[in-house]
Structure 1
């Protein structure tokens, strides 16, 4: 026989959460939330494409949260960091939003307001290929996370290969994206990786 709803005092819930807080933190360690912007694909197809795209060293679990969001928990912190800072973020010509998991993430209230994204500085003169300078440019766009050191030498800070400098930044979709920035006597164009597939009016 089913009984009516059980009334739970708010204080009881808070006490339970206080006791279980450390266990709850462990559940979301090395966890990110992802969303494929502008396209919906089957869960198994998404997981298969991610495995092929990211080539992780260890495994991961993926949970469909609904509303197009997925939670990914990695076996290793190394893989989690790689996904957040280095791995490609484009699937089937659509941008894959990847964000560090935050507590109390409520799907019905969430809006895609920001994500990490690589910006390219096409044609930037080589004398400006310095980490501190590139980070300062990144601050005009958003919050800089890292500079692509595959393009910049650690010792000489000069381009070793590639055609442009790349900076990983947190882009705020509530703000207008900066298309270019003035650097002394010239104007530097800023290109956003895979930005052409994102609809900002949706």
Structure 2
């Protein structure tokens, strides 16, 4: 199922249509589809990072903190405009580790991640339009604790990237098995311009999910960027607005709480 992620990126790597007319003022650069894909290939598995509300950090400071945070992961780090950063991993397993073990916090700020895509343009908004989140269902019936269900659940929220199942722990002599006390999760890339859903129905059962680490998720209207207490919909406004200077922050809590950091 994770291969669908690669296929979507392949589709997004199609060379954009070229201008039909060329002028001396604005010449056109021509590339074949294969040449365009080859230019994109080194960045295909990269992640784009930013820290909303934290615009004073220097490049070296962010890189140093990431190196400590992902101490057993090898990656290449570069900065791009508007306080965005791009991370390329030496191995796919390192990228999977980052996707599986989040959410991540840098100096008590939520580290926003999203997949790199060929036409990504770093915008100047304080709140990104897309980001990767970790979703879990703490009260899901055991029958739904499987990859197929979680993958489809994630696709109802956004774009499923990875499913993180409970890890079996071998007992003494390998004669017994136990599951670690944590919930299965799905890593999803969401569009923050759309509502973040928290309830679903499966075979007439109402199921609830939680978004790990998101301190500013308003489930009054489902949008991200403010708390329920200041939701514009409480004033019966037609559409939600966001404060571009809202600071998204949080810190890891102990195991088992909503914003757990493992």
> What TM-score, normalized to structure 1?
0.73
After TM superposition, which residue ranges in structure 1, 4 or more long, deviate above 4 angstroms?
17-23, 108-111, 183-186
Matched, 1:123 2:139: yes
Contact 2:48–2:86, Cα closer than 8 Å, also in 1: yes
Shift of 1:186: 4.9
Between stretches 27-36 and 67-76, larger displacement belongs to 27-36
The total of aligned residue pairs comes to 188
* Map of 1:89 onto structure 2: 103
Any unmatched runs of 5+ in structure 1?
1-6, 154-158
Matches for 1:63-142 after TM superposition, within 5 Å? 63-83=78-98, 85-91=99-105, 92-108=107-123, 112-142=128-158
How big is the shift at 1:184? 4.8
Q: Which residue of 2 aligns with 1:145?
A: 161
Which residue does 1:174 correspond to in 2? 193
Could you say what secondary structure the match of 1:135 adopts?
Answer: helix
Q: Which residue of 1 aligns with 2:68?
A: 52
Report the structure, 1 or 2, having the larger helix content. 1
Q: Match for residue 10 of structure 1?
A: 27
CA distance in 2, matches of 1:25, 1:121: 36
1:120/1:190 contact within 8 Å kept = yes
More strand by share: 1
Conserved 8 A contact 1:28-1:73? yes
**Inter-CA distance 29–141: structure 2 relative to 1 (3 Å threshold):** closer
CA-based RMSD of the aligned residues comes to 3.3
Cα drift, residue 47 of structure 1? 1.3
Match of 1:162 among 170, 181, 195: 181
- Give the TM-score normalised by the residue count of structure 2: 0.59
Larger displacement relative to structure 2 (182-191 or 17-26):
17-26
